Structures are given as structure tokens and as C-alpha cells.
Amino acid sequence: MSSFGHIFKVTTAGESHGKSVSVIIENCPPNLPLVEEDIQPQLNRRRPGQSSITTPRDEKDRVTIHSGTENGRTLGTPILLTVPNEDQRPKDYGDKTIDLFPRPSHADWTYLEKYGIKASSGGGRSSARETIARVAAGTVAEKWLRQTYGVEIVAFVSSVGNINLFDSPADALSSDPSFLALEPTLTRDRVDEFLPVRCPHPDIARKMEDRIAELRDAHDSTGGTVTCIIRNAPSGLGEPCFDKLEATLAHAIMSIPAVKGFEIGSGFAGAAMKGSVHNDPFFVPETLSAEETSRLTGGLPKSKLQTRTNHSGGIQGGISNGMPIVFRVAFKPPATISQDQTTAKYDGTGEGVLAAKGRHDPCVVPRAVPIVEAMAALTVADAVMLQHSRQMGRSMQQ
């Protein structure tokens, strides 16, 4: 499906080499200040052509708000956002061999199997170009969350290939001293000090950049991981049993092109921990101000309890507990590499060799950072609205 969310709902449209990419946002609260300039910075962080280690496709990704606002404020009605494709080159896919052979690890074969037809240029709806719509909509969701609840979402590159930001990548982030020191103060501005890779460590970021450039020159590619932190999410978010908050986050994140793994809190490393270590003890903070303890934001209270550790990743029983929500995302190497690769004909009559063409990233994680942030924002915004509806029903019964 091309829609995501129950109440804060987004529906996207557009292909890689079509005229534009667009998104409709439903049920955005009214009277939210919103102009194109609020959305553009995140699109600029995602856009292609921003450095020598990304695709050279030169798109400005300028967003236009067509509906749902007036005089710079939302009306509560559907918001239509569009971004034109200005540097599309369908002729890059004019080689007849592409009509004969599916590209290895692309969606050419699977789309043809599903629909009986596929986009003749690029990946169509499977292309990461589609994520423009997610970032545009996610920026709107995030602005509402930030203004209403003080929610902060920041993601960063934590690995490229086998180059890791953290000393023990196989261990749980929730017990890694370097991550625990970084997590409380990391901001997007800090992350973007380390362009073009967006890894918040100068020496490691330089190694990552050099590795990506090396593979670019070798016409190869590599994967990596992005880590995301959500601060100040209200407690009580998540809908047992099948829409637990980590389940909807996983759904959102796994829908991003090239994502192959998702872990939250201790993640897979938690399977090797003892319960006596993994359990997160509750405590009452000694320094909570009167304002903090009494704050009610839109009917959703800020949690008065905290945990001394955060192996749960901010979610227990599928419901947010007020601690930072922390998760990590694994991206595979981009499938398009300018090397000859063996493949088979669509009609099954034989095999052949195909050299993929087009302009593509040798590693997607530097540009994936705002995409991960956007999908996190859409998930949390929808969860907040679902909890609002629950709170409203409960208050009507009292």
C-alpha cells in the first residue's frame, strides 16, 4: 500500500523518472504554522547530488504546498505537497538489454511478477526517489510533535561497511559507554558538522568517507547502519497487541528502500544478556522541577518515573515509558553497481551479462538519515493521536 498511519495518515505517489513525487497528509491538526521553508531543510539533507560520495543526479527537491494551509497556518484539511523531478534521465535505461534481463537484487523481476508490468526506467515506485514524500510529510509531523510535546528526533550514521562508530558493534547500544555518553546531547546540527557522512566523530567519519569514495571509484557499493534517538516522546504510546509501538516503528522503518534489519534497545545483543542485567530498574528523579512533575501536554502526561538503564529502548510491553526511544537500522549495499553481472532473461530462455546504468549512491546511509527521522516522526505522531482518542473516550466515561 502507498498509505501509512491510522489517523495522521500519509499517502504518497510518484516514480523515479516521472514528473513529480507527491504526498497527501490527512488529519494534521489545524493552526500549525507551516510554510515551504519549514519542510525544505530536511529535503535538502536527503536530496541527491549533495557531495562527491552520493549520486550525481542533480535535483533541487523544491517542495510546494498546494492545499491545506492558508496564511502560513494549517487548516486541518488534507495537505498536498509536491516535489518535481527536474533531472530525470529515462534515456539512461534505454539499453535494450534491460528489457531482456532483470537487474540483480533490484525489484524489476518482482514487480513484473506482481503487476505484469514494470517501470521501464529506474526502479519506479521501488526507487528511493519515493522517499522524498516521506521526508516532506515526516517534517510536518515532527514540527507538530516538537511544538506540542517537545519531541526531538535525531539520527546519525553509526557504521559504513565494517567501519563502526562504536567500539563493540555486536554489543547492545544500551550498554555501550560511548553511545551512552553521546546520546543525551546529540543534535542534528552536531551530526551535520560531519558532512558528507553524518557520523558524529571526525576520525571515523573521515575513514567512512574514504571507504565510500574507494568503492565508488571501483564501481562497487557498501551498506551501513543508522541509529535513531527519539527524546521526550510521551509515555503511554502504543496499541497492544499487534500495533505495539516497536511493531509500528519496525513497520515504518522496514518499508524504507534498502533496509534489511531493525533492532530496538538492546536489540539482538539482548538475547545474550541475563535478565538480572537486562531489566531496567525504575526510580523517581530527585531533581524534577515542579513544572516538570505537573506538566500535562495535550492531555498526555510526562512520565514521573525513569529507568536507570534503557535496555528496553524506551518501550515496555509495546508501550512507551517516557525514556528515549533508541533503535538501529541496517541498510544493504545499493544494488546498482557499474560492473558486469550475470543474470537470466525474463523469459527463462538463457543467461547473460548486464552492466547496470544510471546514477546511484555507492552507500545510502548518509542520505538515509532524514528518511529514518521522518518515518520515526510519522509513527510517533500517529501513535499520539491514537492515544488522544483513547484519552478522550476515557474522559467521556468519567
Which residues are the active-site residues?
17, 106, 361
Given a contact cutoff of 8 angstroms between Cβ atoms, the answer to whether 324 and 314 are in contact is: yes
Q: Enter the C-alpha cell of residue 355.
A: 552492466
C-alpha 120/C-alpha 17 separation (Å) is 9
The Cα-based distances of 202 to 61, 125, 134, 170, 239 in angstroms read 29, 36, 29, 22, 41
C-alpha 36/C-alpha 74 separation (Å) is 12
H-run or E-run covering 259 = strand 259-264
**Which residue carries 515532527 as its cell?**
142
Sequential DSSP letters for 255-292: TSTTEEEEEETTGGGGGGS-HHHH---EE--TT--HHH
Listed residue (224, 270, 223, 214) closest to 246, CA to CA: 270
Q: Under DSSP, is residue 326 helix (H, G, I), strand (E, B) or coil?
A: strand
List the beta bridge partners of residue 364.
none
Listed residue (118, 127, 185) closest to 156, CA to CA: 185
C-alpha 338/C-alpha 360 separation (Å) is 10
Given a contact cutoff of 8 angstroms between Cβ atoms, the answer to whether 391 and 240 are in contact is: no
Amino acid at 78: P
